[in-house]
Structures are given as C-alpha cells and as structure tokens.
Amino acid sequence: MSGAGGGGEGGGTGCGSPASWRAGWSLVATAALCLVSSASVLATGAAPMSKEEKQRLGNQVLEMFDHAYGNYMEHAYPADELMPLTCRGRVRGQEPSRGDVDDALGKFSLTLIDTLDTLVVLNKTKEFEEAVRKVVRDVNLDNDIVVSVFETNIRVLGGLLGGHSVAIMLKEKGEHMQWYNDELLQMAKQLGYKLLPAFNTTSGLPYPRINLKFGMRKPEARTGTETDTCTACAGTLILEFAALSRFTGTSIFEESARKALDFLWEKRQRSSNLVGVTINIHTGDWVRKDSGVGAGIDSYYEYLLKAYVLLGDDSFLERFNTHYDAIMRYISQPPLLLDVHIHKPMLNARTWMDSLLAFFPGLQVLKGDIRPAIETHEMLYQVIKKHNFLPEAFTTDFRVHWAQHPLRPEFAESTYFLYKATGDPYYLEVGKTLIENLNKYARVPCGFAAMKDVRTGSHEDRMDSFFLAEMFKYLYLLFADKEDIIFDIEDYIFTTEAHLLPLWLSTTNQTVSKKNTTTEYTELDDSNFDWTCPNTQILFPNDPMYAQSIREPLKNVVDKSCPRGVVRVEESFGSGPKPPLRARDFMASNPEHLEILKKMGVSLIHLKDGRVQLVQHAIQAASSLDAEDGLRFMQEMIELSSQQQKEQQLPPRAVQIVSHPFFGRVVLTAGPAQFGMDLSKHKSGTRGFVASSKPYNGCSEITNPEVVMGKIALMQRGQCMFAEKARNIQKAGAIGGIVIDDNEGSSSDTAPLFQMAGDGKNTDDITIPMLFLFNKEGNIILDAIKEYEEVEVLLSDKAKDRATIFKGKMLPNYIFDSNLEVDNMEQKSSENDSENQKSEKTTADSQDLSVVNQESVEESSPISQPESVSPADVDSASILSSKEDSCPTENHETTIHDSECTELDNQPQEQSKTEEESSPNVSWDNKVQPMESILADWNEDIEAFEMMEKDEL
C-alpha cells in the first residue's frame, strides 16, 4: 500500500507559506500533504548519513532495479511475471495454479504496465518511452480470462493511468514523448469499461472477478456466481476510477466507485464504527466479522483519506476520521495492531498479525499521527532484523506464523514516509538494511526471488509485479535528493500500488457533486477532525531525541523471551506513565497485574470451587483516578465476559481408528472446519480407509487419484489454504480429508484447538468432511499405516461406541466394554458422564472468573450469594487460556497456518461426554499413547480377533 507523495529532504515550505499553494491544487490536497513536505527538516538524534553514502545507496537501488527489470524484459516479456529461479515468464494456464494469486494475471504484460511510472521516478526516461511503445503495440486487454477486479484495477488500470500521468508531464517538458497522443489513457478507458459490468449488483459492490472478454455474461464468462468480496476489494477503486473519469470527462467510473464506498460506509457496524473483512455483495451482510488494518481491509482505509486528498470531498475525510478513531480505540495496542470482532471490539479475533498492516504507519504519517506510526514501524523493523524479512504473518510474541515473504513493499513505503515526516536519518539506516537483505538473501541470477520460508532462506519461483512497481520506487525516493528526480513528486499522490496521479485532478472535470452523504448516516463530532495542516511543533517537540525516545523501549522487544508478559511494551522499560490495565490484557498469574488491581481497589478472590472472582472496593483505591480506572476495568471485564459467553464455536471432532487391531479404541481429538460436511448433522459420520495424497500438501491437482478415490485423504499442513486442499482431494474422488500439522511435536494436549476457516470465498462447493490433527495425533495414523498398511477411520462429531460401529458384525463380546449392554449404551454413558463431571477437574473449572462491582453487591455476596454475580462469570477458556502461559512453547508458533483460523475454547464437558460414550474405561486424557503401549494393552483382543477371522475363513 502506498501514501501520498513526499517532498525532498529539507525542500518543503511551511504550512502557512503561500508558496505551498501551487496552481491547480485544492486546499484539502495541500493540507493533507503539508505534513510530509514541511517536517523533514527535523533531526532526532541519529547520526546523519553522508551525501556520498546516500548517493551510493541510491545508485545501488538503480542497479538492483536494472537487474530485476532487465531479466523480466529478457526472459519473461510479454508474460505477466518473471519466474526468477527458472528464468522464464509466468503465463497463466501454463504453470500449476496458485489459486487466487493467479487472478492478478491476465496475459496483459502485467509487470511492464505496473512498472511504467517507476521508470520515470528512477530517471529512466528512455526506457520509459520504449516501454510505452511496447505496451501500446503489444498489450491485448481483450483476453478470454477471468481476473480479479481489485488487482486489475490497482495494477493495470493504475499502471496505465500512472504511465499516462508521467507521459503527459514529460511531453509538456518538451524533451521526451512528443509522439504520445494519450494512447495509455485510451487503453485505460477501454479497461475501465471492461471492469464496469462487475458493478452490476443491487448493492453497487463489485463482483470480485470478471472476464476481460465476456464481462459477466454467462456462461462464457465463467464467473459471476460469487456472493462475497473483501472490503478492500470493493473499497479500493475510487482513486483510479475517479482519475479515469476526470482524465476523460466520463463520469460513470467515479460514480460507480463512489456507490461502492457509500454502501460500505452504510454497512459499517454502527456501535464500533468498524468494518468486517468479507461482505456479501448482494445482501450487504458481513460474512467475516473480524476487523483490522491488514489483509482484506487495509487499502479501504487508505483510499478514504486519499480520496479526500485527490478529490476534495470532505465526506471522505469524515469517514476516515470516524474509522480511524475506532481503529485507535479498539485495534491499536501499541506497538501491535490486532484484529477484533466488529460487534465485540474489546475481544481480539486472532493472536497474530499479517505483513500487509506494515502500510499503516505510512498512512498515519499522512494523517499526522506520528507517535503510533513510529512505534508500530519500530516493532516491524525488529521483526525484520530477527528474520531478515517480514513474515507474511507473525504472532503477538513475534514468532513466525506464516513463513513466506513475497518481497512486499509496505514496510519500505512506511519507512519512506516516516523519513519524509521526521527527517530522521535513522530511517535511512533502515532502508540500507532492506537493500542489504534483498541483495544477500533474495537476489538470484535472473532477478529477485520471493522467500518461501524466512526461517530457512528457501526461495519461491516468484517475483510479483508490485516488487518493481513499489519497492524500488520507495527505496529510491528514500535516498534521492530533490535534484535527483526530474519532476516534483509532491505534485502527485500515490495509489495503493504506488502509481502517480496528479493532484490537479481535484479541480478538473468534477462530474460528481460534492454532496456530504456521511452526515446522513450518523452525527459526527468534528472536534477530532483535521481540517488543516498539522502543527509540526506539536507533532515534533523541540527535542532532537523525540523519535528515538519513542523507539528505544522497542529495541529489544522481539528478542525478549516473554514479550507479552506485560500489558504493553512501554511498561517493561518504564518509559513514561503506565497506561491503565485493560481487561483483555489481564492475566491472573501476572504479579504486576495483581499489584495494579490492588492499586485500583480491585481484589482477587479464589473460590472453593476453583473459580477466581474479582471484587471492586472503590474506597480502597490508591486515589480517585485509580478508582475510576478500577471501575472502567470492571466494566470492561463484565463486557468481555458477556462477549465470551455469547461466542459460538464449533466443538472438537473425533477421528476414530476402527480397523484391526484398534477396533475403535483409538479416538483422536480433531479440529473442525467451517466448510464442507457438517459432521454434527450426519450422526453416522464418514468412514473409510486412509491414503496419502500426492502431492502430500494437497495444494495442487492430485496426481494419485486412483489411490485417493473413495478414501479419506491425508495431507500435510502448509503452503496453501485449507479450502484449496479440500477442493483438490474432492476433485480426485476422496470422501473426506485429514490435514496433519507439520509442526513437529504439536499435540492437542498442549496446543489450543482451532477450526479451519475458509479462504474468504464461497465454499458451498466443498461437500466432503475435513478435519485437522496435530502432529502427534496424526503420527499415530501414519505409524499405523506403516505397521498395518490398510487403516480405516471414522470421522464424526464425537466418538461412537464400538457396538454401533461393528453392529451386524460377528465380534466377541469382550471387544466391547464388558460392563455395558448394547441396548442401553447411551443411557449408561449419560449416567457415567454425569458422575464423572462431579469429580473431573478441568482448566476451565479452575480458572472460571467472575466479576462483581462492589457498588451493587455487598462485600460478602460474591461467596455467599454466587447467584447474584452469575451474569459476570467468565469462561477463562476464552479469556485466559491464551494468556496463562506468558511464554508460549514452540507448539504455539504455528497454531494457525494455512488460513485465518479461529481458536476454539476448551470444552471439557463435551470432551467428558464424548469420552464416556466412546469408551468409559479408556481415559480421554490418555487418548494419545505410544503405539507399543496401545498394542500391548490389547494383545488379548488382537489374538481373539485373529482367531475369529481364521474361523470365518
């Protein structure tokens, strides 16, 4: 993602200076850009970089660009992308499908179009002129191919408009492009008309995909059946579409993009002012209700602020400020940015962050909120220094979650804007590190290869177009002086793909009236809206160590063994006043937290039944302010408790080995899937023999369908989405699937269960059941295959009694449990379950938390009258399970890998019931045993069954 253009070092004028109001600029555009152009003279304590060193690094960026661009043109053009390991072009349909990633490819020389304006920024005007001639001559936009509307808009339409913008600038200068007659603009208009049919929905939200040749016409288009799209996909169109309208005078493009934005605004969650990740394009219902600033939403926020800058419509600024206030209230936990539920914004939706949020500090610079931008950027930089690159996703304790890194430019973007805003040479050193890492770890003979795993340094045969479009642009601008650029970069705004759109469009062909539609939906408080240029004296106090003082507490946070053992990073270093303890951060095992509670007049009581209870005594608080903090903490805890109780989670599922010599005695706890057959609605479950798929990761077409057909396919976790694995094995004829964790040693005994989520698209086409096994449980099946070759399993919502499994088969009575009659199996199981629950101790029982406000309940009431506080009881499996262990083990590192997976609450009662129904004499806690031990226990059964088989034969 990208921000508005910044000025050269020290080259900006003051906010109030008349020189800053250039001809053709709108007032709002200048106000939004003034921060970037005026604050760069500030120094913040870091040692300055010499002019020679800056020039050397700038030249190194140029050399790196030449290496990447030259190899694309030599080995890949006219293909969409370069495959740098095999030195050839990636042509869609000729390489194995990568799923949604390939939706960006349309056989329209994507990388060349995406790189056009980068050539001019890097002062390669001759190469630019040649590239434009190639695009005009060779590129075909009428291919029968289905592409992503979002990717085609930001990369191709944006690339053509960016190329047109700099082409007319060069032509006006009189040295280059004198032959140019708006050819790129005409191609952009042609493409715009090809994308317009996607907006033919009742909501105005576009379909996520469209056929370049046939649009949405069925059946030729092979698309148009989708029901869902991501918020960023529908909300990242206004800059390119409005620019196209204003360049051409054709209003339909801007009107369509505005309608989509209006609908998203109207559908925001009104109490939190947040938007979800995925929305139904026909009904407007939120399909995925988690909210953050990363993948799926990121550029929606970016385009609201930049639409205000480019188009001069204050309603966009009002919307952005409303959202921004919600982001800082709920999502921002400096230096972290964690997803929350839009209806339950105090509840985190996941425990990891994705790399796309790295754009956000740059957007905060444009907003004028520097401190949190510095904090988050520094945290990201520490992650990079640990892993050389920013992993696609990493946990809150800074462990790798998704290990890939496709050479994303968002961190370089934020580094550039922070340098332009602060003038701090520290960010030049950050840029130097990025350059060194790219050359050391990603450079290959035919370009730069994406990292397949930042932990091992392995490569992927991939060099996305955004690497050339954005990475080199931002790195070069970071080290370039104003005289190094042949035009004034401050006359342009960057799109999310870093394409240049001239700011004079704000006063050209204003085909859409600037009606303030925002206030039709809500009453807004103007007090927090920035209508004028930020005061740099407030942003940057006269303290040369300002930025450094913000960064310093974060220097070693990634290397700390227990970084989440404190409420916020600042506190562990004692820098500045400690913020109030928030309910979502509270850990009953943290002594510091207990001390804070005591100061707030909140006491913690351990009840006889093992629960923990909080009681507030305002009179015992250290001060009136502490008492207020205590009251707020109790209110948050009550709200958090209520939210957790309402949280609906799928229960764990069961994988039961029913073949010889196990006969249903081995029951493995499995994580469910949010897609495919709902095993709770199919009581008989799915039974079949297991077979390993080839490839074992299940991420491409199955090459051994004759082996998998009619069986339950085993796959290894990783490298693609769960839903993609399911589709591949279903296509091969499998009747079910089991995904086995690739994290060595992981087990449901130690790691929290989670449910496998879909891929953000409609998964109704997946009809087979899918379950997930941790590594330890999965190895039991794999070891059984090695020992016995054929292994039959039963996938079900809960373990079945063996009398049901083997009904109608001649088995000796002692194969079943001797104390149970077949006819009354369920009744006995229920009775035993009830008895066991009385004595069974579980994590949730011992950690149940209840909250009492002393203002409404007498001091003795929490213990003597528990019914009076029952609404505040908290299931700690939801609140504390991820926080009781402040130093997560390696088993937690890749708890969620293939998709956006939702952690499941421990469900001891369900487990207890399942345990009793499946085998009252077998402890659920011992569900995972060494194979030798299991077989030794059952020698008698095995011998009896083998004898019976001989008799039958």
Q: 932: pLDDT confidence band, cut at 50, 70 and 90?
A: low
Q: What pLDDT score does 800 carry?
A: 74
**Contact yes or no for 747/775 (Cβ under 8 A):** yes
State the DSSP H helix or E strand holding residue 287, giving kind and residue range, or none if neither: strand 286-288
- The tokens describing 299, both together, are 């550029």
Higher pLDDT among residues 918 and 214, named by residue:
214
Average pLDDT over residues 934-951: 48
Q: Which residues of 816-853 are buried (b: 16+ CB within 10 A; e: fewer)?
A: bbeebeeeebeebbeebbeeeeeebebebbebbbbbbb
DSSP 8-state class, residue 874: B
Of 374, 356, 355, nearest in space to 364 by CA: 374
Residues in the chain: 953
Q: What pLDDT score does 45 carry?
A: 52
- Write the pLDDT tens digit of every residue in 174-187: 989 999 999 999 99
Q: What pLDDT score does 952 carry?
A: 38
Positive or negative: CA dihedral 568, 569, 571, 577 = negative
Q: What pLDDT score does 736 carry?
A: 95
Question: Which residues are part of a known binding site for Ca(2+)?
Answer: 496
Residue bearing tokens 């190639």: 134
Q: What pLDDT score does 456 carry?
A: 81
Considering only CA atoms, give the Rg of the chain: 30
Alpha helices (H) in 789-868, listed in sequence order? 802-805, 825-839, 843-847, 861-864
- Domains of the chain as residue ranges with CATH: 52-506 (1.50.10.10), 585-648 (no CATH), 653-806 (3.50.30.30)
State the DSSP H helix or E strand holding residue 280, giving kind and residue range, or none if neither: strand 278-280
- Cα 522 to Cα 36, 271, 526, 763: the distances in Å are 31, 11, 12, 35
Q: 418: pLDDT confidence band, cut at 50, 70 and 90?
A: very high
- Cα 926 to Cα 748, 833, 929, 944: the distances in Å are 11, 17, 6, 24
Nearby residues of 178 by Cβ (< 8 Å), 6 or more positions away: 171
Query: Which residues are tagged catalytic?
Result: 151, 298, 392, 410
- Write the pLDDT tens digit of every residue in 641-656: 655 544 446 778 888 8
Give the separation between CA 296 and CA 150, rounded to whole angstroms.
Answer: 11
Nearby residues of 823 by Cβ (< 8 Å), 6 or more positions away: none
Higher pLDDT among residues 908 and 230, named by residue:
230
Give the separation between CA 411 and CA 390, rounded to whole angstroms.
Answer: 8
Give the separation between CA 303 and CA 325, rounded to whole angstroms.
Answer: 16
Q: What pLDDT score does 391 carry?
A: 95
On the question of pLDDT at 293 being above 90, the answer is: yes
Q: What pLDDT score does 626 carry?
A: 83
Q: What pLDDT score does 578 carry?
A: 58
On the question of pLDDT at 367 being above 80, the answer is: yes
On the question of pLDDT at 853 being above 60, the answer is: no
Question: Percent of the chain at pLDDT above 90?
Answer: 50
On the question of pLDDT at 899 being above 60, the answer is: no
Average pLDDT over residues 261-287: 96
Positive or negative: CA dihedral 96, 102, 107, 108 = negative
Q: What pLDDT score does 611 carry?
A: 59
Q: Which residues of 884-898 are buried (b: 16+ CB within 10 A; e: fewer)?
A: ebeebeebbbbbbbb
Residues forming a β-bridge with 667 = 656
> Count H helices, E strands: the chain?
34, 32
On the question of pLDDT at 951 being above 70, the answer is: no
Give the separation between CA 827 and CA 849, rounded to whole angstroms.
Answer: 33
* Mean pLDDT value across the chain: 77
- Write the pLDDT tens digit of every residue in 597-643: 888 888 877 765 555 678 888 788 888 888 888 887 887 787 666 55
Q: What pLDDT score does 900 carry?
A: 37
Residue 936: count of CB within 10 angstroms of its CB = 10
CA dihedral 109, 130, 247, 315 (to 10 degrees): 60
On the question of pLDDT at 927 being above 80, the answer is: no
**Contact yes or no for 667/654 (Cβ under 8 A):** yes
Q: Is the pTM of this model over 0.75?
A: no
Question: Which residues are part of a known binding site?
Answer: 496
- Write the pLDDT tens digit of every residue in 327-337: 999 999 989 99
On the question of pLDDT at 254 being above 90, the answer is: yes
- The tokens describing 514, both together, are 């600037």
**Contact yes or no for 274/268 (Cβ under 8 A):** yes
Of 307, 311, 165, 246, nearest in space to 509 by CA: 246
On the question of pLDDT at 436 being above 60, the answer is: yes
Q: Which range is least confidently modeled, 311-315, 720-724, 769-773, 852-856?
A: 852-856
Chain centroid, CA 219 distance in Å: 33
Classify 401 as helix, strand or coil: strand
**Contact yes or no for 891/749 (Cβ under 8 A):** no
Q: 816: pLDDT confidence band, cut at 50, 70 and 90?
A: very low
